[in-house]
Amino acid sequence: MLKRILFVLMVSFATITPVGTAQAAIPWAQIIKEAIKRVVKAVDLLIQRRQNAVIKLQNAQKALENTMAKLKLDEITDWVKKQRDLYKEYYDELKKVKAVIAYYFKIKEIAQKQVLIVEEYQKTWILFQKDRHFTAAELHYMQKVYEGMLDETAKNVDLLTLVVKSFSTQMSDVQRLEIIDKAAAQVDKVYDELSSFNHENKVLSLSRANSEFDAKVVKELYGIQ
């Protein structure tokens, strides 16, 4: 899936116009957004399955404890000895499943932030292109900056997909955590850069307003208080 996405992104880089319009840039971002949504959907399904497994294991554990409570004191020692391996298996599996669910929620959190990045880009880029305070050269520069940010977001989608698939492979917990931490750090970095870049451009536009009415229009355009 990600290979197809990256191929489309490469084609987009080759065909995009110097300044372009909102319509030229948004479909590219939408491809990334849809890929992220597919990752989130896959994670939701995996979480649901794991949660069902947790409930099943918890019920089995409760049944074992109830059986133990009904035994007479002199029978408990012998019974525990016979059931110890089975009980340990349930307990270990329960811990493992809970850990996996924690992974899934972290992956989903990262993916949701990636969606936020794409949506913020789409919304703000349309506004900047409507803003007459920016030159064609400045819009061209903005587009190049956004291209870099979206490229990083696409790479993060690739990382998240790798992690999701890792639960059916032999990847170790250490390797899995390294990938999750890397994706989290990268998405935070892109989000912060995007927020800062958008804010700077909004402030720049406002500083170029040549009248109170012009400034009011800019503030209303970007929701500046």
Q: Among residues 111, 141, 142, which one has the least CA distance to residue 124?
A: 142
pLDDT tens track for 196-214: 999 999 999 999 999 999 9
Structure tokens at 29: 């971002």
**Phi, psi of 53, deg, nearest 5:** -65, -40
Angle between helices 73-130 and 22-70 (to 10 degrees): 170
- Show contacts of 140-148: CB within 8 Å, 24+ apart: 140/18, 140/19, 142/197, 142/201, 143/16, 143/18, 143/19, 143/20, 143/25, 145/197, 146/25, 146/121, 147/13, 147/16
pLDDT tens track for 82-137: 666 666 666 666 677 677 777 778 888 998 899 999 999 999 999 999 999 999 99
User: Which residue has tokens 């390797």?
Assistant: 175
**C-alpha distances in angstroms, 38 versus 20, 44, 144, 162, 201?**
28, 10, 27, 13, 32
100: helix, coil or strand?
A: helix
This prediction has a pTM of: 0.68
pLDDT range class, residue 16, cuts 50, 70, 90: very low
Q: Where are the domains of the chain?
A: 2-45+105-222
